[in-house]
Structure 1
């Protein structure tokens, strides 16, 4: 169904794989995407390069009888990973790799866009090639910069993420939260240093931090509904300089994961309360820093997602798999909090995990993904 052939899409994907760039640095990627899009039929297309977010790219496809504007998002940045795939088209940029499969995401979006550049859709379609998903909250930036206003405002938004654990080309989804929201946790405990032999003259930051860490572990076990899911992981602790000096400072760094924004806000609240309690108990000062940015839970819209799943289940050429929530983060969650929509999986069948230096997606997933999405969008526009 795509105007671009399967072989052309594979070649596009391989070139994108060779030129990975980090968040907000995607200049070469942007230029290549623009070049591919400008080679498409332009009759229905309006291309926008926002100066406020210069590596972003938006394309509006004018519908013939528009009732709505349907948004489709593809993220374009890569990760600071040294590639170890041995592929002939491996990354040309040292220490940077499309280890999360955003090259697949972009290629599928180009395939869908090329089809609708040749076959005018009934509704308007908005394609958003988004920078800075892996860090810097690109979706949130775009929203707060006002990029989705006027004719560029979607009534509903869709996007995919590749999944190594699903067969190549399979579509996975669930009605509910697909990805957890994430929040960075930074805690500084400030006490009073002193000699190890005179602890009563000091305020031990290590002891206070140890008590804080243990109390934080009770948030999930005692403040969260056991039927729901949340995670608080404290992965880094630093304190002290020598064995016989009581430390005046301890640093704790970690992460929160939650399946709803309400749950994350509850965990945030309990963290703040526990930190205040430690201040009172140990006579120390505790500075709590929480940074969520745009990494909200990816909460799929119930009605739109049921419609999406019903289509995919009923399509004989689509292998649909109902999936479970994942505790990984995705900044599409912020956009789904602002616009109703659905995120879904595209299977890429690989033994390596996402963010792995050896990730090698099966390329037959690309054309199958394009075909499934084209079919769904045509189905949606007939409703």
Structure 2
């Protein structure tokens, strides 16, 4: 029988960045080989560092999918745990070690008896940086194993063990990386009329772009435009020839994301034209679409867990955090939900230490849910 806590701790020690999850892949494959040795209805397929496990049902009229992400973050761990990361400057600070362990535990439960319908377990790389779900989909990695319904979870520090939270609409925002470079003409600070100051233009852009959300976005829907980085100039008496800005757009629907992207581009182009500068604009949303739950499937999931006495289901508002599961949910109807892990430190914090009691709790109750779905 799989030791869930030992598995989680082993995975916690070997965090790796997206598409570099080589030790993680090897650990998962070794664990899967042991789990599936005597399972006649299981097949395994790999794509780069990703893994798909397919359980053929007795009738197989549909396929139910479960997804976990497997990558870590470029963070120096500060938990002080005996099983802290052994990889320098790498940490499972987003709970993907929990996600993987729960998926393995669910798989172990589901192979005990061949289900009526097919089941797919996806161990997906590169959630944090390269939208691995999109990469796998576009590469044809699913083939004829693409599920009819897809489910996944994410740990949430501020919820207690035993609590899960989701909604019947958008759970996470779509995100879009923004890179803008204004290109003018450098010169001496004493002779501004002979130059074309990119720093001034970038400063005007930063102030004017604030109106995109306040005057273009329905306040009921909401969106975020944030520029967290600006680089221009080299010293105090040289007029900057270029100014580079790096930011993010976040919105709760894809239509709103496209509108905000359009307006950010137009503001940048307008500023460049008014100052007589050139501008380079890069908008990169990739696979980070809004995580839009299927209303019917979300209602079924919430109703199912509300009937269990030791599970507290919360109907929660959306969060502006991003998740590449949104790309897969744009192709396949499904649901993502939060799992409470009760820790004072937020996601992506170097001291994040979720309560391990959440792992057996999740495996026990989610296995029953999957059995229910696979038997319908």
Range class of TM-score, shorter chain: over 0.9
Does 1:62 find its partner at 2:59?
A: no
Question: Contact conserved, 1:313 with 1:320, CA < 8 A, in 2?
Answer: yes
CA positional deviation for 1:100: 0.5
Paired residue secondary structure (2:330) = helix
Question: Contact conserved, 1:169 with 1:366, CA < 8 A, in 2?
Answer: no
TM-score, normalised relative to structure 1: 0.95
Question: Contact conserved, 1:43 with 1:117, CA < 8 A, in 2?
Answer: no
Count of aligned pairs between the two proteins? 374
Does 1:158 find its partner at 2:151?
A: yes
User: How far, CA to CA, are the matches of 2:372 and 2:158 in structure 1?
Assistant: 27
CA positional deviation for 1:19: 1.3
CA positional deviation for 1:176: 1.0
Partner of residue 208, structure 1: 201
Q: Any stretches of 5+ residues in structure 1 without a counterpart? A: none
Task: State which of 291, 299, 312 in structure 2 corresponds to 1:298.
Answer: 291
Partner of residue 267, structure 2: 274
RMSD value over aligned CA atoms?
1.2
1:58-137 to 2 correspondences below 5 Å:
58-137=52-131
Paired residue secondary structure (1:265) = helix
1:175-324 to 2 correspondences below 5 Å:
175-324=168-317
Question: Contact conserved, 2:115 with 2:375, CA < 8 A, in 1?
Answer: no
User: How far, CA to CA, are the matches of 1:19 and 1:240 in structure 2?
Assistant: 40
User: How far, CA to CA, are the matches of 1:121 and 1:370 in structure 2?
Assistant: 17
CA positional deviation for 1:91: 1.0
User: How far, CA to CA, are the matches of 1:356 and 1:280 in structure 2?
Assistant: 42
Partner of residue 20, structure 1: 15
User: How far, CA to CA, are the matches of 1:169 and 1:179 in structure 2?
Assistant: 21
Paired residue secondary structure (1:210) = helix
Give a deviation string over 1:168-192, Cα, whole Å, max 9, x none: 1322111111111111111100111
Give a deviation string over 1:52-99, Cα, whole Å, max 9, x none: xx2111100111122210111000010111111111111111111111
User: How far, CA to CA, are the matches of 1:170 and 1:37 in structure 2?
Assistant: 29
Task: State which of 344, 356, 363 in structure 2 corresponds to 1:363.
Answer: 356
Does 1:45 find its partner at 2:42?
A: yes
Which stretch of structure 1 is more off in the superposition, 34-43 or 157-166?
Answer: 34-43
User: How far, CA to CA, are the matches of 2:82 and 2:186 in structure 1?
Assistant: 57
Does 1:372 find its partner at 2:369?
A: no
1:343-354 to 2 correspondences below 5 Å:
343-354=336-347
Paired residue secondary structure (2:347) = coil
Question: Contact conserved, 2:119 with 2:374, CA < 8 A, in 1?
Answer: no
Partner of residue 146, structure 1: 140
TM-score, normalised relative to structure 2: 0.97
User: How far, CA to CA, are the matches of 1:365 and 1:124 in structure 2?
Assistant: 27
CA positional deviation for 1:260: 1.0
User: How far, CA to CA, are the matches of 2:51 and 2:167 in structure 1?
Assistant: 29
Question: Contact conserved, 1:180 with 1:329, CA < 8 A, in 2?
Answer: yes
Which stretch of structure 1 is more off in the superposition, 316-325 or 288-297?
Answer: 316-325
User: How far, CA to CA, are the matches of 2:92 and 2:253 in structure 1?
Assistant: 28
User: How far, CA to CA, are the matches of 1:139 and 1:42 in structure 2?
Assistant: 27
Paired residue secondary structure (2:111) = helix
User: How far, CA to CA, are the matches of 2:137 and 2:187 in structure 1?
Assistant: 50
